[in-house]
Chains A and B, each alone.
Chain A
């Protein structure tokens, strides 16, 4: 499996209920919770200035823009989902060094957020955070 390992979580976007109701359609203007999409920490200079994966020692994250596809594989169960970039995020530097593990498999640093539709295709939403492999989709 190529790509790199990191933590993946989920976020709501687009029209929504509850505390998510104030969210918009993301940096790309296309993000919706029910679509197979994700947020990526390096979609622009402005985005990278917020997410700062380099502060966690994760350098060389490739610049990818709206619509680029990534494949995310849940390292706990091998399930895989292919999604396209619709927003900037997650804010990696807020959780530097954090690890998500299952069994003896761990991955560190938050590098990708999936929409609820995409995350629930590979894990339970209640899990919140999973170790994942991230590759070009």
Chain B
């Protein structure tokens, strides 16, 4: 069984380049689902093992991130970092201008060794305003958001049923929750999963 200290130690070594993919198998699952806080903060407090913001620089696998609150983060991607950008992908897909959320282990030098990053991910509660051949338009708190359907990726969940690629049961006027990937600098997203209401 992997302990918190095991994960911290392995991530630290991975961040230093001492391990790499070998560490992946030692840690077990490295899917985003497996990325958990090493130490939980008190309720209401910021989590030092979590970061969000926009990527402003990249030096190999070290990301410089400008937090929305003004803080600067340095986030180290490693061979054991899981990456989501519309779908599970590789660390080279994190690019300057992208927004992200990251969870990992904050090292003594202030670098966050990332267990998982979610690039451009959004979770929007919307109303469906139009449905087209290749996309769906939404109203998000009065703002228009254009959702693009990505063949092979976009799925719909109709009131808790298993996700399917068939979007034909979407209806204009219904509310929905959309997990997607924002296209930086636009009001457009690529749709990963759309959950529809009654």
Q: Which residues of A are in contact with B by a Cβ distance under 8 Å? A: 9-12, 14-22, 30, 32-37, 67, 69, 77, 79, 81-84, 86, 90-91, 94-101, 106, 108, 116-118, 120-129, 137
Q: Which residues of B contact A37 (CB under 8 A)?
A: 43-44
**Among A16, A79, A94, which residue has its beta carbon within 8 angstroms of that of B68?**
A16
Q: Do A17 and B54 have beta carbons less than 8 Å apart? A: yes
Q: How many residues of B contact A (CB 8 A)?
A: 53
**Among A22, A69, A86, A121, which residue has its beta carbon within 8 angstroms of that of B103?**
A121
B43, B99, B159, B195, most chain A CB atoms within 10 A: B43
Distance, CA A25 to CA B114, complexed state (A): 26
Within B24-56, which residues are at the interface with A (CB < 8 Å)? 31-33, 35-37, 40-47, 50-54
Q: Which residues of B contact A35 (CB under 8 A)?
A: 41, 44-47
* 10 cross-chain CB contacts under 8 A: A14-B69, A17-B52, A19-B140, A95-B177, A98-B160, A99-B159, A120-B35, A120-B116, A122-B36, A128-B123
Q: Do B123 and A69 have beta carbons less than 8 Å apart? A: no
Q: Which residues of A contact B57 (CB under 8 A)?
A: none
**Among B32, B33, B103, B184, which residue has its beta carbon within 8 angstroms of that of A18?**
B184
A120-B35, A120-B101 known; A128-B44 Cβ under 8 A: no
Q: Which residues of A contact B76 (CB under 8 A)?
A: none
Within B151-190, which residues are at the interface with A (CB < 8 Å)? 159-160, 175, 177, 179, 182, 184, 187, 189
Q: Which residues of A contact B54 (CB under 8 A)?
A: 17
Q: Do A82 and B43 have beta carbons less than 8 Å apart? A: yes
Q: Which residues of B contact A129 (CB under 8 A)?
A: 177, 195
Q: Do B177 and A120 have beta carbons less than 8 Å apart? A: no
Distance, CA A135 to CA B50, complexed state (A): 24
How far is the CB of B8 from the nearest CB of chain A, in Å? 15
How far is the CB of A124 from the nearest CB of chain B, in Å? 4
A16-B68, A17-B68, A19-B124 known; A36-B40 Cβ under 8 A: yes
How far is the CB of B165 from the nearest CB of chain A, in Å? 17
Q: Do A124 and B31 have beta carbons less than 8 Å apart? A: yes
Q: Do B160 and A99 have beta carbons less than 8 Å apart? A: yes
Q: Do B122 and A124 have beta carbons less than 8 Å apart? A: no
A19-B124, A34-B47 known; A124-B160 Cβ under 8 A: no
**Among B43, B46, B123, B184, which residue has its beta carbon within 8 angstroms of that of A125?**
B123
Q: Which residues of A contact B68 (CB under 8 A)?
A: 14-17, 21, 33
Q: Which residues of B contact A101 (CB under 8 A)?
A: 160
Distance, CA A34 to CA B44, complexed state (A): 10
A9-B123, A19-B122 known; A121-B116 Cβ under 8 A: no
Q: Which residues of A contact B124 (CB under 8 A)?
A: 19
Q: Which residues of A contact B50 (CB under 8 A)?
A: 34, 116-117, 120-121
Given A19-B122, A69-B44, A95-B175: 10 more A-B contacts, CB < 8 Å = A19-B187, A33-B52, A34-B51, A36-B44, A94-B125, A98-B195, A117-B52, A120-B118, A125-B118, A137-B43
